[in-house]
Amino acid sequence: MADGETTERAPTLSRRGFAAAVGAATLVGGGLGIRRTRAAAGLTIGVLLPRSGYLAQAGQACQRAVALVPALLGDRVRIASADTESSAEVARARAERLIADGAHVLVGAFSSGQTAAIAQVCEQRGVPLVINIAAAPAITQQGYRTVFRNFPTSGTLVRNGLALMRELFATTGTTPKTAVFLHANDTFGQANRAALDAILPTLEMPFTLVDRISYDPKAQDLAVEVATAKATGAELVIVTTRANDAILMVREMVKQRYEPMGLISPGSPGFYDAQFYDVLGPYSDYCVTNLPWVDPTSALAQRVEAAFEAAFPGERYGGYLFNVGFTLEAILVAADAHTRAGSTNPEALIEALRTTSLEERIMVGGPITFDATGQNPYIASAAVQNLNQTPTVVLPAAVAEAAPVFPMPGWRARR
């Protein structure tokens, strides 16, 4: 084994955790067509995530999904975990090693850049890849036959996110006239910027975008970038962040007394991560993220939450549910394909993945299915606002858990 890789069965839950998750196993077995008694050879799923490096928090959050696999799938599925170390080069090497060690399908990898590297390996080796989280459009525009993405592209994220912004303004009766875009300059951030530049003019949004400001996501200080944004006088701050830089950004806004009407992300992590709440406390409240989210009305989602809380007592599920939900769905998609294929042969798995149709799911949206490019086109978004340091669905109204708050209260009012 290479450093950073472990081949293992998914961690065993405590008796209490297993009992709480039995309902989820039953529901998955019926709703998703995963029959635990199927006699097909056992499936090994290689899960690649950035569990160290600058994306470690997100990768570790996704990894918690692995602890729920035994309750959902029993011991028929074997998980081989690998740490990409937040590096595309390492991700490529780890993918090669997992395949060499017998992984039948790979799942990963949260980061678009790392996922693109893994996709190249899978295409070369003829092994299917089921993407849990990665939005760069190019990943499913290469003509790859082995890549399947149950996650929206940057264009879909931004388009849905902007539509929800308009709904937010209409619902609250408050509309900003100017906005600034602050974004990481990595693969994901640049893809979101390209999508925003392409889509914004077509939607007749009520605000003018006065500036676009990029930054290094590994930066230790965003004082200059926040000062530049403040100088524009923009009433709305649109962001593409992850947890570390989102924390730096808000801290600088508090320090510099920059108080826009709101901070809204059209589909990036950061604001809803457990680390964001733990570090910022009340300053984490009222930020809005428009993205695919766990469906609060889904019985499967509710049972997964119960299993999580039993497996990780004392941890804040709200800060993990996005990463856990999409990672679990990717694993369940792979397991469902294996069940229908009745084989671990890569060609049989690929053909089964092409005909995936899972009606019951954890996240908001239509059935999990894949078009000719390997993309799931049926993923919806919700507006998730931090209220009382908890991610809360506020739009659309049909699934809302609370009313949205906009504009947000000033920083001083929260001390």
Q: 3-state SS of the chain? A: CCCCEEEECCCCCCHHHHHHHHHHHHHHHHHCCCCCCCCCCCEEEEEEECCCCCCHHHHHHHHHHHHHHHHHHCCCEEEEEEECCCCHHHHHHHHHHHHHCCCCEEEECCCHHHHHHHHHHHHHHCCCEEECCCCCHHHHCCCCCCEEECCCCHHHHHHHHHHHHHHHHHHHCCCCCEEEEEEECCHHHHHHHHHHHHHHHHCCCCCEEEEEEEECCCCCCCHHHHHHHHHHCCCEEEEECCHHHHHHHHHHHHHHCCCCCEEEECCCCCCCCHHHHHHHHHHHCCCEEEECCECCCCHHHHHHHHHHHHHCCCCCHHHCHHHHHHHHHHHHHHHHHHHHHCCCCHHHHHHHHHCCCECCCCECECCECCCCCCECCCECCEEEEEECCEEEEEECHHHCCCCCCCCCCCCHHHC
CA distance 19 to 24: 10
At residue 41, the pLDDT reads: 57
Whether the pLDDT of residue 10 is over 70: the answer is no
Under a CB-based contact definition with an 8 Å cutoff, are residues 289 and 276 in contact? no
| Mean pLDDT on 107-135 | 97
Segment 73-97 mean pLDDT: 95
Q: What is the reported pLDDT for 69?
A: 92
Q: Does residue 10 or residue 319 have the better pLDDT?
A: 319
Mean pLDDT of 113-135: 97
pLDDT at 85: 97
What pLDDT, on the 0 to 100 scale, is given for residue 269? 85
pLDDT tens for each residue of 280-300: 999 999 999 999 988 878 888
Which one, of 367, 296, 365, 309, lies nearest residue 333 by Cα? 367
Q: Looking at residue 106, what is its pLDDT?
A: 98
Dig out the tokens for 215 from the structure: 């930054």
Rounded mean pLDDT, 308-325: 91
Kindly report whether the global pTM for this prediction surpasses the value 0.85.
no
Beta bridge partners of 77: 43
Compute the residue count for the chain: 415
pLDDT at 19: 28
pLDDT at 113 over 70: yes
Spell out the residues 6+ positions from residue 125 whose beta carbon is closer than 8 angstroms to its own.
96, 99
Q: How confident is the model at residue 352 (pLDDT cuts 50, 70, 90)?
A: very high
Q: What is the pLDDT of residues 381-401, one digit of tens each?
A: 999 999 999 999 999 888 888
Q: What is the CATH number of domain 155-291+383-414?
A: 3.40.50.2300
Mean pLDDT (whole number) for 50-79: 92
CB of 200 closer than 8 Å to CB of 227: no
Span 5-152+295-378 CATH architecture: 3-Layer(aba) Sandwich (3.40)
Q: Which two tokens stand for residue 66?
A: 């692995």
Average pLDDT of every residue of the chain: 88
Alpha-carbon distances of 304 from 26, 93, 151, rounded to whole Å:
12, 32, 19
Q: Using a pLDDT cut of 90, give the percent of the chain over it.
A: 73
Indicate whether 259 pLDDT > 60. yes
pLDDT per residue as tens digits for the range 166-217 = 999 999 999 999 999 999 999 889 988 998 999 999 988 999 999 999 999 9
Residue 348 pLDDT greater than 70, yes or no: yes
CA 83, distance to chain mean position in Å, is: 17
224 CB-near residues (< 8 Å, 6+ apart): none
Q: What percent of the chain has pLDDT over 70?
A: 90
Query: Is pLDDT at 92 greater than 90 in this prediction?
Result: yes
- Residue intervals of the chain classified under CATH 3.40.50.2300 are 5-152+295-378, 155-291+383-414
Scored b (16 or more CB within 10 A) or e, 238-264 reads bbbbbbbbbbbbbbbbbeeebbbbbbb
Reply yes or no on whether the pLDDT at 35 is more than 50.
Answer: no
Q: Is the pLDDT of residue 151 over 80?
A: yes
